[in-house]
Structure 1
């Protein structure tokens, strides 16, 4: 085989096997490693190819024309559904990037493939539980947080606390943002809490830079921060939770992997023991209580007491004594004075 043929074969190997080593090229082309190194240099200088080496492997960085990817109608469908899902809405921190990416993909795709994709859209649907906020995120908040994360700028933020129902001022080092369950959260170190916290993006009232910079902890990642959470609440002490689910709902629980640490043990009576290690107990307690009498907490005792306390509260709320106390209802058609509303609030 001529040198030219071998060079063409080498380029083909580089293109089809990203990260291929000189030793592998040497064996495939039946030439010495020294010769392969020389040919790689010749390909870069003579043929003006961009060949890069990373971690011992070689990659061919083609020009823009040869890098162009041909997507099928089904692949376009998957991208369209993904990039138009609620986490990528206009209000999300990455919404504008998702919209821009889809426009570029759409404009570079053949008309016939887009037509087929639109026909396929009638048969597929993706809906995530991300309800649209009543008033939306305040203007400028997303951009301010985004800039602080990218430039590592400390910020001072006014935030509406759900727990205390008060507006508080926090000094934050924003590490990143995350979409969990149905909302976007800012993950940041809070000077007031002296720890990394998660704050709901929609509750920010204002964000301004302090002029100071920060350095994130080495090895920190948003995914690691949430790795022990049940769904979206992070930061609690990792706790082992065991729940018995009745035979009636055991198949539904078993068919889904809800958490990377979960272990399911089948029982002789058809029930299952569901075991998982999560941060804190309150969030998983809400999920457990949603299964009603079909779920029984086995451990920890703290979680058993938490669920039992709420169960007693529900029984009390539905007791005959409480049912006799009719709540105040006002018809929308009836005019109500401010004094009437005030009196109703005072009586509750």
Structure 2
């Protein structure tokens, strides 16, 4: 079962007209504002509302209300359900309206900025979030949000990835398994897997989002990069996320998205010139800092030395030294030698 997506442009147009009067200057009904009111009435009556009541509250005929409901369903792709109680919106489609304080709105803005920053492709859902936020924030914030919206249109769209995310979101909300065709790095062909989505995690380092869930093929927890999912289908099979599953505990022994390897005690020595950065920033929950008399900083971690952690250590260059464990120190030395050899060959040409 594939998700029928709403039209973001038409939907945002309705949202931007939220404060318009139901009646135009010439005395005629404003269709856009009326459709928005009908949508709000459906929000306010999750168990259902009769067409006659919609018509009465919007001051139109029942025939017009039926046309409005059809417009919401066919043009804006809002899934409507009818029963003895009347019309209502299908569960899990829209979140209920909520109110933010100014600082809460700023938190949403900053979180969305992070999402915008890690993604190098255009995403209409991120744009829609900014657009809605922009309608309620004070003028200074609106200017910054508008600038972000302008920059967003410079990015190329990735329709396949957007559709994949939409389907995963729905499957996760409805607790239904997905069948994916997945390409693994280093493999020539894709493999078909049935996965129970437990979590979707963004990772700035990989400029991507990752599906974390139980893989039926391996019968273990696995991490799947969204861009490597070649096709996806929502299945009818239901699943339940274990009550003791905690994504933060699951990732706590690891540096980034990669879950692999033995957890070790790691000690790094940073030179004084970057020592202050270490004391000012918590890079991992297990981090412990100790400032030495010469102002160098000893930093300890309790985690696995995965490739993404090794890359982070290497990013500090000569300003860091691995003290423990020896295996990590060897990895860094071998990588540094490989880099030197590669550049040496290039310089000889």
CA contact (8 A) 1:137 1:201 kept: no
Partner of 2:265: 240
Partner of 1:296: 321
**Partner Cα distance (2:216, 2:253) in 1:** 23
1:280-291 matches, within 5 Å, as: 280-291=305-316
Partner of 1:86: 115
Larger radius of gyration: 1
1:142 to 165, 169, 182: 165
TM-score between both structures, scaled by the size of structure 2 = 0.59
1:37-52 matches, within 5 Å, as: none
Partner of 2:141: 117
CA contact (8 A) 1:91 1:136 kept: no
1:1-348 matches, within 5 Å, as: 71-72=101-102, 76-87=105-116, 96=125, 106-107=134-135, 109=136, 114-118=138-142, 135=158, 137-138=160-161, 140-164=163-187, 166-181=189-204, 182-319=207-344, 321=345, 323-324=347-348, 326=349
CA contact (8 A) 2:120 2:155 kept: no
The Cα of 1:76 is off from its aligned counterpart by 4.8
* 3-state DSSP of counterpart to 2:259: coil
Q: CA RMSD in A?
A: 3.6
Write out per-residue CA displacement over residues 278-317 of structure 1, whole angstroms, 9 at most, x where no aligned residue. 2343221101111112211111121111111111211221
Divergent runs of 4+, >6 A: 88-93, 131-134
Moved more, 235-244 or 79-88: 79-88
**Partner Cα distance (2:250, 2:286) in 1:** 15
The Cα of 1:259 is off from its aligned counterpart by 1.0
**Partner Cα distance (2:155, 2:223) in 1:** 20
Moved more, 305-314 or 157-166: 157-166
* 3-state DSSP of counterpart to 1:249: helix
TM-score between both structures, scaled by the size of structure 1 = 0.59
CA contact (8 A) 1:156 1:207 kept: yes
**Partner Cα distance (1:286, 1:133) in 2:** 28
